């Protein structure tokens, strides 16, 4: 998984937008965003100089009571 450390709200929104466009699930750890590993997301984070780390842990997505589609 990838743990992302956005430095502010604007960056968090931009990151969430990019992850959402790839239809990847997320979870939140405080102000950090966690998502399953995706090489395109990792490339985006590098290009935007956003701090992140890769971890070998089980990913647990956020649960919601509703969904679209």
pLDDT score for 63: 74
Whole-number pLDDT of residue 68: 53
Residue-wise pLDDT for 16-64, tens only, equals 999 999 999 999 999 999 999 999 999 999 999 999 999 999 998 987 6
Q: What is the pLDDT of residue 65?
A: 52
Cβ atoms of 19 and 41 within 8 Å: the answer is yes
**Residue 4 has what pLDDT?**
98
Give the separation between CA 31 and CA 9, rounded to whole angstroms. Answer: 9
Please write the tens of the pLDDT for every residue from 3-15.
999 999 999 999 9
What was the pLDDT predicted at 62?
84
Q: At what angle do helices 9-21 and 39-47 cross, to 10 degrees?
A: 150
Report how far residue 43's alpha carbon sits from residue 68's, in angstroms, rounded to the nearest whole number.
28
């Amino acid at each position: 998984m990838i743990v992302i450390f956005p430095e502010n709200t604007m960056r968090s929104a931009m990151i969430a937008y990019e992850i959402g466009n790839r239809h990847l699930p997320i979870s939140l750890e405080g102000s950090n965003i966690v998502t399953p590993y995706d090489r395109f997301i990792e490339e985006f984070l590098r290009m935007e100089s956003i701090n992140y780390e890769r971890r070998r842990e089980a990913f647990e997505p956020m649960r919601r009571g509703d969904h679209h589609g």
